[in-house]
Amino acid sequence: MNGDMVYDVIVVGGGPTGMMLAAELRLHDVRVLVLEKDLEPAAIVRSLGLHVRSIEVLDQRGLLERFLARGKQYELGGHFAGIDTPLPDGLDTAHPYILGLPQPVTDRLLAEHAVELGAELRRGCELVGLSQDPDAATAELADGSRLRSRYLVGCDGGRSTVRKLLGIGFPGEPASNGWLLGEMQMTAPLDEVAAVVAEARRTHRGFGVGPVGDGRARVVVPAVGVAEDRTVPPTLDEIKDRLRTFAGTDFGVHSPYWLSRFDDATRLADRYRVGRVLLAGDAAHVHPPLGGQGLNLGVQDAFNLGWKLAAAIDGWAPDDLLDSYQSERRPVAADILTITRAQSELMSVEPGPQAVRRLLGDLIAFDNVNRYLIEKTTSIGIRYDFGEGPPLLGRRLRDVSVPQGHLYGLMHAGRGLLLDQTGRLSAAGWADRVDHVVGVSEELEVPAVLLRPDGHVAWIGDDQRELLTVLPRWFGPAADPGGPHQPAPAAQPPT
Ligand SMILES: Cc1cc2nc3c(=O)[nH]c(=O)nc-3n(C[C@H](O)[C@H](O)[C@H](O)COP(=O)(O)OP(=O)(O)OC[C@H]3O[C@@H](n4cnc5c(N)ncnc54)[C@H](O)[C@@H]3O)c2cc1C
C-alpha cells in the first residue's frame, strides 16, 4: 500500500448514488471519502419516490424500516406514462408498491447510513482536476490540494466534471423541452386550482400545480420563452408569468421555498470506466424524469458496483469482475432511456402520439404486456447475462421466507449467499466471502441458489462439483485452508 494513500476510494458527489456507494464500500471496510461541493444538502425536491427494486435493495441492507417510517406507500397501478392500469396478479416481489418520499429525505437517510458505517463526507470540496497512474487516481480540489486513492468514482450528477475530465463521450439527444419547478405558498383555494389545472392539461401535459403538505404547493410549468441558461434557477416572476400564460392565473403563488428547472435531455456515457476511475448515477446517464427512474437507477448502479470495487481493493476480484459493472449496468440504463423517452413522447398532446397512447392503452390491458412494462419500470425484470441457464439465472431473487427469518434479512452484510435446501453443499473455501445458509423455503422451487452480494442469482442446482466451478467466477479463488481465511460452519435453521 502506498504510504500517501489514506483512502482506497474517493467518491465525487454526495447525492444518493455517491452515498449508497460509500455505504456499500464500508460494508467491506473500504476506506472511503466522499467529496461534495455543496456546503449544505440540496433542498430541491426532484425525486418523489422509490420503485420496487430500490425498496428491495433497502431491505437487503436492513434500511427499509427507516424509509418506510418516513414514506407513504402508493399502489403500483398507472405506472406507464400515467396510463391507468391495474397491478398484475402475483407480481414477483414482496414489495408491490411505490414508496413516496421527497428526495431530500431519501438523500439524508442514505447519507446517514453511509456515515454510520464509517464513510467520511467532506462538504464544500469541489473536484476540479483529475489524473491517474498505474497505482492510483489523483483528485485535485478547488482549494489546490490533491488527494490520492486507489480508485475514484464520479457520482457527480448529469453535468459530471469527472466524466468531462476523462473525456468520455455523452452522446444522445439534447433537450427539446424544459420546465420550471418549485415549491411555494399559494392563496387560491385547492378545488379551484384543481379545476383550472385539469383544463390547462388538456393542451399542456407538462403542467401541474398541487399541494404537497405543510401548506406548500409544487408547481411545474413549461419553460417556453424563459432564459435559456439552464444552470440558473428561475425567478418567482418568471414562474408567475408562465402560470398566467398556461392557466390564465398565477394562483396567488408567493414565498418560494426553492425554485429550479429541468429538461428532457437523453444521454448515455460511452464508457463507465477508464482505468481507476468509474462513473455511476446521473454522471453516466440522463433522461426525462417521467416515471421516476433516475435516482432508482443510480442507487442500483451503486449496489452493483460497491462489492465489485471492494473485491478489487481486497485483492480477490476475478480479472473481469470490475468490468462486469459496465457490461451489466450500461444496458440497463439504455433500457431506462428508452422507456422514459417513450413516455415523454406519449405525454404529447399532438394527434400522432395521442393515437399511439390510445393503442398502448389497449395493449396494456393484456396481462403479459402490463407485466413486461411493470417489470421494466420497477427494475425487477433485470436479467444480467450470466450465460446459458434457467430463467432465474442472472435475475435478482425475490425475498422468500427461510427458517432463519427472511432471505433479505440474511444479506445485510453485503456478502454472497448460498441458500442450500439440500444440506449437502459446501462453500467452505469461500466462507470469508459467502454465507452458507441451510434450510428449506416453501417459496423456493430449486434445490439451491448462489446469490451475489447484490442478490442476483449466480447459480442454481444441487451439484457440488458444478458449484465449485461457479464460485471462483464471482468470488475469486478459494482461501488457502492453512491461511488466514478459515471456513466457517454453515448456518443451520433453529431446531
Ligand atoms: C423534476 C425531477 C423529478 C425527478 N423525479 C424522480 C423520481 O421520482 N424518481 C427518481 O428515481 N428520480 C427522479 N429524478 C432524478 C433524480 O433526481 C436523479 O436521477 C438523482 O438525483 C441522481 O442522483 P446522483 O447521486 O447520481 O446525482 P445528483 O443527485 O445530481 O448528485 C450529484 C452530487 O454531486 C455533487 N457534485 C457535482 N459536481 C461536483 C464536483 N466537481 N465536486 C464535488 N461534488 C460535486 C453535487 O453537488 C451533487 O450533490 C427526478 C429529476 C428531476 C429533475
Within this chain, do residues 156 and 43 fall inside the same structural domain, yes or no? yes
What are the cell numbers at 217? 404547493
Is there an atom of ligand 1 within 6 Å of 182 CB? no
Within this chain, do residues 62 and 189 fall inside the same structural domain, yes or no? no
Cell 400564460, residue located: 245
What are the cell numbers at 260? 429550479
Is there an atom of ligand 1 within 6 Å of 325 CB? no
Within this chain, do residues 31 and 122 fall inside the same structural domain, yes or no? yes
Lowest mean pLDDT, pick from 74-83, 151-160, 315-324: 74-83
In angstroms, the CA 215 to CA 224 distance is 28
Measured distance between the N- and C-terminal CA atoms of the chain, rounded to whole angstroms: 46
CB crowding 222-234: b at 16 or more within 10 Å, else e: bbeebeeeeeeeb
- For residue 368, the CA-to-ligand 1 centroid distance in Å is 33
Within this chain, do residues 217 and 320 fall inside the same structural domain, yes or no? no
Q: What is the pLDDT of residue 205?
A: 73
- Closest atom of ligand 1 to CA, residue 38: 47
Is there an atom of ligand 1 within 6 Å of 262 CB? yes
Count of structural domains, the chain: 3
Dump pLDDT digits (tens) for 339-352.
999 999 998 888 99
Q: What is the pLDDT of residue 227?
A: 56
- Closest atom of ligand 1 to CA, residue 297: 11
Average of per-residue pLDDT across 363-381: 93
User: Does the pLDDT of residue 431 top 90, yes or no?
Assistant: yes
Within this chain, do residues 299 and 207 fall inside the same structural domain, yes or no? no
Within this chain, do residues 168 and 71 fall inside the same structural domain, yes or no? yes
- Closest atom of ligand 1 to CA, residue 294: 19
pLDDT higher at 246 or 215:
246
Within this chain, do residues 69 and 137 fall inside the same structural domain, yes or no? yes
Q: What is the pLDDT of residue 238?
A: 93
In angstroms, the CA 316 to CA 279 distance is 22
The residue nearest atom 26 of ligand 1, judged by CA position, is 281
Q: With bands split at pLDDT 50, 70 and 90, how would you rate the model's confidence at 77?
A: confident
User: Does the pLDDT of residue 493 top 60, yes or no?
Assistant: no
Q: Which of 199, 231, 263 is the last residue of a domain?
A: 263
Hey, CA dihedral for 69, 71, 73, 76, is it positive or negative? Answer: negative
The residue nearest atom 20 of ligand 1, judged by CA position, is 295
Is there an atom of ligand 1 within 6 Å of 35 CB? yes
Say which CATH number the domain at 223 has.
3.30.70.2450
- What is each CA distance from 37 to 14, 157, 188, 375, in whole angstroms? 8, 12, 38, 36
Q: What is the pLDDT of residue 486?
A: 42
Within this chain, do residues 124 and 217 fall inside the same structural domain, yes or no? no
Domain assignment present for residue 471? The answer is yes
Mean of the per-residue pLDDT values for the chain? Answer: 93
Q: Which of 230, 263, 296 is the last residue of a domain?
A: 263
Domain assignment present for residue 314? The answer is yes
Q: Which of 230, 245, 263 is the last residue of a domain?
A: 263
pLDDT higher at 224 or 40:
40
pLDDT higher at 487 or 199:
199
Average of per-residue pLDDT across 375-380: 95
- Closest atom of ligand 1 to CA, residue 48: 8
Average of per-residue pLDDT across 159-184: 95
Domain around 453 = 401-475
Within this chain, do residues 168 and 188 fall inside the same structural domain, yes or no? no
Domain assignment present for residue 374? The answer is yes
The residues pairing with 237 across neighbouring beta strands, listed in sequence order, are none
Say which CATH number the domain at 458 has.
3.40.30.120
Is there an atom of ligand 1 within 6 Å of 181 CB? yes
Q: With bands split at pLDDT 50, 70 and 90, how would you rate the model's confidence at 485?
A: very low
The residue nearest atom 39 of ligand 1, judged by CA position, is 156
What are the cell numbers at 433? 466471502
Q: With bands split at pLDDT 50, 70 and 90, how would you rate the model's confidence at 494?
A: very low
User: Does the pLDDT of residue 266 top 80, yes or no?
Assistant: yes
Lowest mean pLDDT, pick from 11-20, 47-56, 170-179: 170-179
Q: What angle do CA 364, 47, 41 make, to 5 degrees?
A: 170
Q: What is the pLDDT of residue 495?
A: 38
Q: What is the pLDDT of residue 139?
A: 98
Sequence-ordered list of residues with C-beta below 8 angstroms from that of 189, at least 6 positions apart, any chain: none
User: Does the pLDDT of residue 3 top 60, yes or no?
Assistant: no
- Closest atom of ligand 1 to CA, residue 298: 26
Q: What is the pLDDT of residue 226?
A: 61
Domain assignment present for residue 272? The answer is yes
Say which CATH number the domain at 118 has.
3.50.50.60
- For residue 281, the CA-to-ligand 1 centroid distance in Å is 8
- Closest atom of ligand 1 to CA, residue 162: 41
Dump pLDDT digits (tens) for 236-259.
999 999 999 989 999 999 999 999
Domain assignment present for residue 81? The answer is yes
Dump pLDDT digits (tens) for 104-116.
999 999 999 999 9
Within this chain, do residues 287 and 222 fall inside the same structural domain, yes or no? no
Domain assignment present for residue 383? The answer is no
Within this chain, do residues 221 and 325 fall inside the same structural domain, yes or no? no
Within this chain, do residues 444 and 310 fall inside the same structural domain, yes or no? no
Is there an atom of ligand 1 within 6 Å of 178 CB? no
Q: With bands split at pLDDT 50, 70 and 90, how would you rate the model's confidence at 488?
A: very low
What are the cell numbers at 59? 431491505
Is there an atom of ligand 1 within 6 Å of 96 CB? no
Is there an atom of ligand 1 within 6 Å of 155 CB? yes
Domain assignment present for residue 396? The answer is no
Domain assignment present for residue 281? The answer is yes
